[in-house]
Structure 1
Amino acid sequence: MTSHKAVTLGLAGTGRIGTAHAETLKNLPNVANVIVADADADRARTTATKLGVEFAPDLDALFAADLDGVIVTTATDSHPELIVRAVDAGLPVFCEKPVAADIDGTLAVLNHIQSSSVPVQIGFQRRFDAGYRAARAAVASGSLGWLHTLRATTLDPAPPPAEYIPRSGGIFRDCGVHDFDIIRWVTGREVVEVYATGANRGEQFFVDAGDVDTAAVSLRLDDNTLATVSLTRYNGAGYDVRLEALGSKANAIVGLDDHSPLTSVEPDYPASPYPAYPGFMDRFRNAYTEELVAFVSVVTGTLENPCSPTDALEAFYVAEACELSRAERRPVQIAEVRR
């Protein structure tokens, strides 16, 4: 496929993130056409009409179209089937994380596609954020010296709907997995040990689902760098996602800007006049666009896959170890959960 060819992309799943992706894709210069489908055909039709893109009445019709690639933004339990279907059809696929709901499901997908050269890009959008990219470059350059501490946060301003939590996979797989991936990506190191704990002070539906609404994680990397990850569904000040990479010579801080929901109580320190980020779509708007720009380049053969299913599996191993650590109240080696 030549780099100048404008591509036709099929998008499965027209919920919030799928609709946002469809709107982004239709405005990219190398995208000639976007066709959307959903298990709820009426929702897909409404989205197509609103955005001025094509509509497919079901997934069979979507895959029967003359596509160059597929974007999967459906519910997690359908990811494995759609990834495999796209790869078997020879179609490059972009899939929102996770690959599957659990490790066994993820491994089954990897085993099926391992002999194929068709690229599968997983949606860890923080890899495309300018701040995280700058932090990675700083670490790689050696300008920070050797890292001694990383501090990561994913603090949501309010919980998702109650019905989402039982099928979310829990706070470590749903939220923390982004931090686990980005710590690996920024540092170029692997996590070898975790200790995780959690608490519930909010809605009862977290308890009913066996989940927690707030969590704290300690990670040890393979070079003895230590990392902490803070997670919550109840950060009323606003959406707060940051990473601090602290080294022997200098530091790099991602997510510290005028929209960060941080309030200093130091005398004479001025408060930011700007509102806090209300959610992930606002905080990572540019990153979401850049990852889709990258996927179009993957489809046209001008870019190597920037986030493979194997990367997603490694982050999932860390999340799984955190879940085991919380349940058993002990440090867990990643080797204990690795298949």
Structure 2
Amino acid sequence: MRDIVLGLVGVGRIGVMHAHNIAALNGVLNPEGINVRLRLTDVAADQARSVAAGLGAEFLPSMDALISSGVDGLIIATGTGTHPELIKAGVNAGVPVFCEKPVALSVTDALPVLDYIRNRQGVVQIGHQRRFDAGYLEARRAYQAGELGWIHSLRAVTCDMAPPPVEFLASSGGLFRDCSVHDFDILRWLTGQEIVEVYAKGSNNGDPAIGAVGDVDTALAVVTFDDGTVGTVSATRYNGAGHDVRLEIQGSRRSLMVGLDDKTAMASAEAGVGFPAGQPHKTFAERFDQAYRSEMEAFVELILGRHENPCTPEDAVAASRVADAAQESLITGAPVRVALKAVR
């Protein structure tokens, strides 16, 4: 039996989810003789102690104590502004790092982090969980196998049922950076192409406070790929029907839709159509429950050296560059070319 010790910093909403998924890993990995143990820390010490006690994990009082305790991998689930220094701390300790997206608050801030990782031969996986979702994986397989023919249209949708707190939105970087960056990442990953231009529009018809902090509650971006293919990426904070994440891929031979099932947050206007019949997802955590579990399992496999990195920091920064261009287009009202050359 081999022990793998994972260190988790950050026990907010997504950190607690990762903690529970880590605790469940033994049920997946035990047949291979691997025992996963969890140690965690957070500046909110009482919350961290409570989470640790509930999961049989070990609470440590600081990041330094966590690193020096001898972890095999570090998981970062803290606010974006802390990501660069925590990534560097993990790299300095010589352990693989998993960090929630994005790498940093801006691409400008992220580029020195990429250099730091590269110069020290660090291993860092970024959390773009849609790469582990069964629907997206099947769509990618079908596209790469030539089953769809050539692609003429892509339509990506991400709709939250309700907005997060305005205090979060004030520092999130905007709807495209916070939300649609997942769509930009999955479009690059699925097609193997770069998005070279973005033209964005947005609106505010919900809480005026969202506009007051410089964000929009609904937005649409027309994206152009390097082979000339076009697509759309839309997002909203106010989809009362439920949490809705879909990708429509239309090809010359066949079309596919990711996220079309009995829990799709949509109803048909056609007479006699009862599909979908299930209850829609309410949150991203429900929609991508299995993807998040598979993502953490993949991180353990990365620690063990069994698989290549499924989402590199360079991948994440490339998606963030598209999000930056979309935010710029939203402000200027003009199409914006995506700066690709600085992603090395």
Alpha-carbon shift at residue 279 of structure 1 (Å)? 0.7
* Matches of 1:302 and 1:102, distance apart in 2: 32
- 1:252-295 Cα distance to aligned partner (Å, 9 max, x none): 11000000011101011114331110111101000000010000
* Matches of 1:193 and 1:305, distance apart in 2: 27
* Matches of 2:162 and 2:207, distance apart in 1: 11
Opposite residue 124 of structure 1, the aligned amino acid is H
- 1:2-53 Cα distance to aligned partner (Å, 9 max, x none): xx73310100000111111111112213343100100111111011011111
Q: Which residue of 2 aligns with 1:326?
A: 330
Alpha-carbon shift at residue 166 of structure 1 (Å)? 0.7
Pick the aligned partner of 2:5 from 5, 8, 12. 8
Higher mean C-alpha deviation, range 84-93 or range 54-63: 54-63
Contact 2:262–2:275 at 8 Å: present in 1 too? no
What is the root-mean-square deviation in Å for CA atoms of aligned residues?
1.3
Q: Which residue of 2 aligns with 1:198?
A: 202
Q: Which residue of 2 aligns with 1:117?
A: 121
Determine what percentage of the aligned residue pairs are the same residue.
49
Does residue 1:222 correspond to 2:219, yes or no? no
- 1:227-254 Cα distance to aligned partner (Å, 9 max, x none): 1011000000000000011101101110
Higher mean C-alpha deviation, range 50-59 or range 170-179: 50-59
Does residue 1:186 correspond to 2:183, yes or no? no
Q: Which residue of 2 aligns with 1:96?
A: 100
Opposite residue 296 of structure 1, the aligned amino acid is V
* Matches of 2:339 and 2:86, distance apart in 1: 29
Task: Please give the residue correspondences for 1:1-339 in structure 2 after superposition, counting only pairs within 5 Å.
Answer: 5-28=2-25, 29=29, 30-335=34-339
Contact 1:9–1:31 at 8 Å: present in 2 too? no
| Cα distance change, pair 199–336 in 1 and its aligned pair in 2 (3 A) | farther
Other structure's SS at 1:11 match: strand
Q: Which runs of 4+ in 1 moved over 3 A?
A: 336-339
Task: State the TM-score, normalized to the length of structure 2.
Answer: 0.95
* Matches of 1:31 and 1:15, distance apart in 2: 25
Higher mean C-alpha deviation, range 63-72 or range 30-39: 30-39
- 1:279-325 Cα distance to aligned partner (Å, 9 max, x none): 11101000000010000000111111110000001000000000111
Contact 1:242–1:256 at 8 Å: present in 2 too? yes
Alpha-carbon shift at residue 337 of structure 1 (Å)? 9.3
- 1:70-117 Cα distance to aligned partner (Å, 9 max, x none): 000001110000001100110100000000000111101001111233
Contact 1:156–1:234 at 8 Å: present in 2 too? yes
* Matches of 1:326 and 1:155, distance apart in 2: 18
Contact 1:153–1:242 at 8 Å: present in 2 too? yes
Alpha-carbon shift at residue 207 of structure 1 (Å)? 1.1
* Matches of 1:86 and 1:338, distance apart in 2: 24
Contact 1:148–1:247 at 8 Å: present in 2 too? yes
Other structure's SS at 2:119 match: coil
* Matches of 2:61 and 2:339, distance apart in 1: 45
Other structure's SS at 1:10 match: strand
* Matches of 2:70 and 2:120, distance apart in 1: 20
Other structure's SS at 2:201 match: strand
Opposite residue 114 of structure 1, the aligned amino acid is R
Higher mean C-alpha deviation, range 176-185 or range 196-205: 196-205
Contact 2:261–2:276 at 8 Å: present in 1 too? no
Opposite residue 197 of structure 2, the aligned amino acid is E
Contact 1:239–1:276 at 8 Å: present in 2 too? yes
Higher mean C-alpha deviation, range 246-255 or range 22-31: 22-31
Higher mean C-alpha deviation, range 320-329 or range 114-123: 114-123
Q: How many residues align?
A: 336
| Cα distance change, pair 175–31 in 1 and its aligned pair in 2 (3 A) | farther
Other structure's SS at 1:310 match: helix
Alpha-carbon shift at residue 223 of structure 1 (Å)? 1.0
Task: State the TM-score, normalized to the length of structure 1.
Answer: 0.97
